[in-house]
Amino acid sequence: MRIIAGSAGSIPLQVPRTLTRPTTDRVRESLFAVLGDLTAGARVLDLFAGSGSLGLEALSRGAVSADFVESHGPACEAIQKNLEKSRLAGGRVHRREVLAFLGGVSSARYDLIFADPPYARSDAERELLEKLLTSPALAGSLAPGGLLVLESLSSAPLPENDLWKVKEERTYGVTRVSFLAPVNREAP
């Protein structure tokens, strides 16, 4: 696993050995191709960050900042090491549960929010995905014109909700990447 493009392109990433499912290079390359120039100058939030590959890729491609939110200690250590190794500025690691972090964010607004929660294979994982997508704090954390990029299990439908609309979706094997905008605001 590596950073694909930008100022830190080709730098290998440390990946925690347990409790993570890193976004593959192929999926990252495709989702950043869809985002195009939206990454340049963006403020990024990487939820369920794992190795930090999505936020690191965004920083490498010109994002001005990235907040990495991850509850697993070894994953936070890997993200910190990846930030140091890549020498990318603007990254901050937050060891917190995602919903608790979102509940404490009052004024931060992000242009891009990446969310890669555990795939909804169990009731608890489906419930977590539903809580995430129905969280007013998540929708409120997105800047006008921003996008939520959500990875999920391609065989499981997204939970019904009134906060988000799907702008585009791509499927890569078991992974679905959904580009979502708030219902009451348009994304580019």
pLDDT band at 22 (very low <50, low <70, confident <90, very high): confident
CA distances from 36 to 31, 42, 61 (A): 9, 12, 10
pLDDT attached to residue 2: 80
Which residues are 113's β-sheet partners? 45, 148
Q: Amino acid identity, residue 107?
A: S
- 50-59, 92-101, 129-138, 177-186: which range is least confident on average? 177-186
pLDDT band at 113 (very low <50, low <70, confident <90, very high): very high
**17: pLDDT strictly greater than 80:** no
0.85 exceeded by pTM:
yes
Distance, in Å, from the CA atom of 169 to the CA atom of 156, rounded to the nearest integer, reads 14
pLDDT attached to residue 121: 74
**Maximum C-alpha span of the chain:** 41
pLDDT attached to residue 19: 58
Phi-psi sector, 10: left (phi>0), alpha (psi -120 to 50), beta: left
pLDDT attached to residue 185: 55
Q: Which domains does the chain have, with CATH numbers?
A: 25-182 (3.40.50.150)
C-beta of residue 43 within 8 angstroms of C-beta of residue 68: no
User: What value does the CA radius of gyration of the chain take, rounded to a whole number of Å?
Assistant: 15
Comparison of pLDDT for 123 and 184, the residue scoring more: 123
Comparison of pLDDT for 187 and 4, the residue scoring more: 4
pLDDT band at 24 (very low <50, low <70, confident <90, very high): confident
Task: Return the structure tokens found at 52.
Answer: 């930090």
pLDDT band at 187 (very low <50, low <70, confident <90, very high): very low
